[in-house]
């Protein structure tokens, strides 16, 4: 049987596959997405029938086409009685293909049907046939409509569609243990992962979907028996063919399966890419290659870094534009609005970020969203807007700053009043204050220093740190830190403390004074931190129905799935992109940011993502490169043609020249507000700017209370690994020696660093 062979194949592949049982006519969207544009079943297996199809016989065929994101094509009887008002039908004749759109069909379904028409035209007619679009109820002045109805012997009204009964019953969950093809019910009010044993198999019946879970220690023969028991159960219940069955092995459960359990532990396993890094290095070293000469991969530049940057401090409902020098310093007690404008391929792009400090005050947080909307509305076109939270900044945010320092404390008046009310003796970071900074380099021209808690537990062997002790400075190099971080230390020292003497400290050779500043020795993470392989990306179509957000995943997505009538969410794990079509409904446009937050709050993504995940709002026609890189992007398709998705595709299918449509400047911007904060107290969008003196404030947050997400003390540790061969050996002396201002040659200039590296490589050879 096919089921037995599937179990054997799964065992041969390591028992790490998920089996989906599909039935003709009831295929899942995920299955159909692998066969774009459609599957057209052939009902006859006779050679003469297939040959006749290839020769484009004069026989007229009729198809029903359903689905907004995948096309479900079914051949129906060529008769007027097959037509209805809610469907889309394709009539294929010898010289012309007709597309009949019911008056109750959606624009997306009509557009998807045109993909099927294109397939028929190219494969059955060699691209030589006419295309005619027929609208339900339109007869006057349309010669194609008259020709269409003549195929059925003349026009006759189509009966009204019958209302479908909608079941409001929640699916019941039943769990069975399989004991030699016998199903034993398990009494459990709330399902939990702990009730599943590795030496057993279970069936979870969820009404519309049935799961078979097999423990990792079960034998192949036992798994075959379990599959047979599943098939017997489905047949004995008289279930519809629309009920899908999913078979999986322990450790490879789907998100839909985990969703039915009250608690499912999240286990992060090392990817094959990460696990094989050290092995590959060992193989190269065995063959005589010096692995220390292999440069580290530098992150790809997401956008042009030659644009203009503006930063505003939000203070008591007003904005204060910061100077060029001050805009490279952010404080965790404040909120900021960042505007970055650049030109790419002759087009102007504008990015707006609302940055929320981890210790910022509620009043400033609420005002930031409103003020950013006002600034975004003042520029031409539809800029990209995003909310960024302190400690969870994406690489794109860091890349627009050449140098960035994030201090503890704040400068806004609201934060200063908060410090006074709390009687906090700590204030805004002072020039000679004792502080510890984690230094990281995104690229050779992009570096950040982030102030972390002044304790030894904040250290990490994979990073570099600058410790400021009044007038002296320690530069601490972790034994597993990267050369790219080393090369940027001089640049950051010039920002933090120009013309001050510094001492180089390698991990393992710290002097007593170093630990004294940190309050004494303490354990910290000494394990290699490896950046994991990017997670799979998912696209979701969203719409509001009766005030509720309805979400449906779009599988095997491409650029063509970005329909102008829809609002879609692209989930990239660490970032959420909300794409808003120009012709999407008003509610989706107004609630664009809230749609992204609902994904994070309501468990739609199954994995309980942090509410502080970065959310971007992108409008159709103004997609930046860092968004289009997720697709095989064809700029000619995004030409802002007139009309909806159906009208655009029909014009291209008929070979008409596309007409350009100017984006509507009156389209409402998404209303932005911080999650969990009421928008009723939002400050009006248009406010006068406060004087420059308002930028000055004092105060500091408690060092032990607010730990940054990027702080090594708060970050989870990675699995142990061997120290990197690039790490420099620690000095055997306990007292460090003074070093010159320029610690590393590569920090002078990127070109000089490359030249020095090439000379060093040639000498080794």
DSSP string, 444-461: TTEEEEEEE-SSGGG-BT
For 64, 76, 556, 631, 653, the CA distances from 40, given in Å and listed in that order, are 10, 11, 19, 27, 20
**Residue 8: its pLDDT value, please?**
85
Tokens of 165: 């009964």
Tokens of 396: 């794109």
Tokens of 329: 């310093």
Instruction: Give me the helices (H) in 125-219, please.
Output: 143-150
Cα(23)–Cα(243) distance, rounded to whole angstroms? 9
**Residue 49: its pLDDT value, please?**
45
CA atoms within a 13 Å half-sphere pointing along the CA-CB vector of 175: 17
pLDDT means over runs of 10, the chain (765 residues): 83 86 89 91 53 54 94 93 94 94 94 95 91 87 88 87 56 85 84 90 90 93 91 85 88 88 69 52 65 55 84 92 93 96 89 94 89 90 92 92 91 85 64 87 86 94 90 88 84 80 89 92 84 76 86 92 94 92 90 88 69 93 91 75 86 71 49 43 37 33 34 36 36 36 38 41 44
Tokens of 123: 């494969």
Cα(346)–Cα(641) distance, rounded to whole angstroms? 20
* Whether 333 contacts 410, CB under 8 Å: yes
In CATH, the number for domain 538-629 is 3.40.20.10
| Model confidence pTM above 0.85 | no
Q: Where in the chain is the domain with CATH 3.40.20.10?
A: 2-14+168-258, 36-150, 430-528+715-765, 538-629
In CATH, the number for domain 2-14+168-258 is 3.40.20.10
Q: pLDDT per residue over 48-63, tens digit each? A: 444 444 444 458 899 9
CATH of 36-150, picked from 3.40.20.10, 3.40.1500.10, 3.20.20.190, 3.40.50.620, is 3.40.20.10
- In terms of CATH architecture, what is 430-528+715-765? 3-Layer(aba) Sandwich (3.40)
Run of H or E including 190: none
**Residue 729: its pLDDT value, please?**
35
Distance between the two ends of the chain, CA-based, in angstroms?
A: 62
* DSSP type of residue 327: G
Q: pLDDT per residue over 350-403, tens digit each? A: 999 999 999 998 889 989 988 998 999 899 878 999 999 999 999 999 999 988
What are the φ and ψ backbone dihedral angles of 203, each rounded to 5 degrees?
-115, 125
């Amino acid at each position: 049987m096919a089921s037995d062979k599937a179990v054997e194949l799964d065992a041969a592949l390591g028992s790490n596959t998920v089996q989906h049982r599909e039935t003709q006519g009831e295929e899942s969207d995920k299955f159909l997405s692998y066969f774009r544009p459609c599957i057209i079943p052939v009902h006859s297996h006779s050679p003469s029938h297939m040959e006749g199809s290839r020769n484009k016989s004069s026989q007229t065929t009729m198809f029903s086409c359903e689905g907004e994101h995948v096309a479900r094509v079914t051949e129906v009887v060529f008769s007027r009685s097959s037509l209805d008002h809610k469907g889309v039908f394709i009539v294929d004749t010898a010289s012309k293909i007709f597309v009949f759109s019911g008056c109750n069909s959606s624009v997306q379904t009509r557009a998807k049907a045109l993909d099927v028409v294109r397939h028929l035209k190219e494969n059955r007619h060699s691209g030589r046939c006419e295309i005619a679009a027929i609208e339900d109820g339109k007869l006057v002045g349309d010669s194609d409509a008259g020709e269409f109805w003549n195929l059925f012997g003349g026009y006759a009204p189509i009966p009204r569609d019958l209302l479908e009964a909608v079941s409001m019953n929640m699916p019941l969950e039943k769990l069975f243990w399989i004991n030699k093809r016998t199903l034993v019910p398990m009494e459990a009010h709330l399902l939990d992962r702990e009730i599943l044993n590795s030496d057993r198999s279970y069936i979870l019946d969820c009404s519309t979907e049935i799961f078979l879970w097999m423990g990792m220690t079960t034998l192949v023969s036992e798994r075959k028996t379990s599959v047979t028991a599943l098939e017997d159960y489905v047949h004995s219940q008289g279930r519809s063919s629309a009920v899908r069955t999913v078979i999986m092995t322990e450790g490879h459960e789907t998100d839909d399966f985990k969703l039915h359990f009250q608690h499912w532990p999240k286990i992060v396993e090392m990817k094959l890419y990460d696990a094989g890094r050290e092995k590959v290095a060992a193989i190269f070293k065995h063959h005589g290659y010096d692995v220390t000469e292999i440069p580290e991969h530098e992150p790809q530049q997401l956008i042009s870094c030659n644009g203009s940057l503006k930063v505003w401090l939000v203070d008591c409902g007003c904005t204060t534009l910061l100077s060029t020098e001050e805009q490279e310093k952010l404080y965790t007690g404040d909120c900021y609005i960042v505007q970055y404008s650049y030109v790419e391929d002759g087009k102007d792009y504008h990015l707006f970020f609302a940055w929320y400090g981890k210790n910022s005050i509620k009043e400033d947080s609420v005002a930031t969203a409103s003020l950013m909307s006002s600034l975004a509305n003042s520029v031409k076109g539809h800029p990209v807007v995003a909310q960024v939270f302190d400690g969870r900044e994406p690489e794109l945010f860091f890349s627009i700053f050449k140098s960035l320092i994030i201090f503890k404390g704040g400068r806004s008046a609201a934060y200063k009043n908060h410090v006074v009310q709390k009687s906090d003796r700590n204030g805004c970071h002072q020039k000679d204050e004792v502080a510890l900074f984690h230094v990281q380099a995104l690229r050779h021209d992009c570096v950040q220093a982030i102030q972390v808690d002044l304790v030894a537990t904040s250290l990490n062997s994979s990073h570099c740190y600058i410790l400021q002790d009044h007038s002296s400075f320690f530069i601490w190099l972790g034994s597993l830190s990267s050369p790219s971080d080393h090369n940027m230390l001089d640049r950051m020292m010039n920002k933090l403390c120009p013309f001050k003497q510094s001492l180089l400290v390698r991990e393992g050779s710290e002097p007593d004074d170093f630990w004294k500043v940190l309050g004494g020795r303490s354990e910290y993470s000494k394990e290699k931190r490896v950046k994991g392989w990017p997670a799979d990306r998912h696209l979701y179509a969203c719409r509001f129905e009766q005030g509720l957000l309805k979400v449906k995943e779009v599988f095997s997505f491409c650029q063509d799935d970005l329909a102008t009538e829809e609002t879609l969410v692209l989930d990239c794990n660490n970032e959420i992109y909300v794409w808003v079509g120009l012709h999407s409904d008003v509610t989706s446009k107004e609630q664009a940011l809230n749609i992204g937050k609902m994904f994070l709050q309501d468990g739609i993504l199954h994995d309980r993502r942090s509410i502080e995940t970065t959310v971007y709002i992108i409008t159709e026609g103004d997609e930046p490169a860092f968004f289009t890189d997720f697709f095989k992007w064809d700029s000619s398709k995004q030409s802002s043609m007139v009309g909806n998705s159906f009208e655009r595709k029909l014009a291209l299918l008929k070979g008409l020249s596309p007409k350009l449509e100017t984006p509507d400047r009156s389209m409402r911007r998404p209303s932005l507000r911080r999650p969990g904060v009421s928008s009723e107290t939002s400050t009006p969008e248009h406010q006068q700017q406060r004087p420059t003196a308002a930028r000055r404030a004092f105060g500091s947050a408690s060092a032990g209370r607010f730990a940054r997400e990027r702080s090594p003390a708060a970050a989870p540790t990675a699995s142990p690994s061997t120290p990197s061969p690039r790490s420099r050996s620690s000095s055997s002396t306990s007292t460090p020696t003074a070093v010159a201002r320029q610690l590393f040659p590569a920090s002078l200039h990127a070109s000089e660093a490359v030249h020095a590296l090439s000379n060093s490589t040639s000498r080794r050879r």
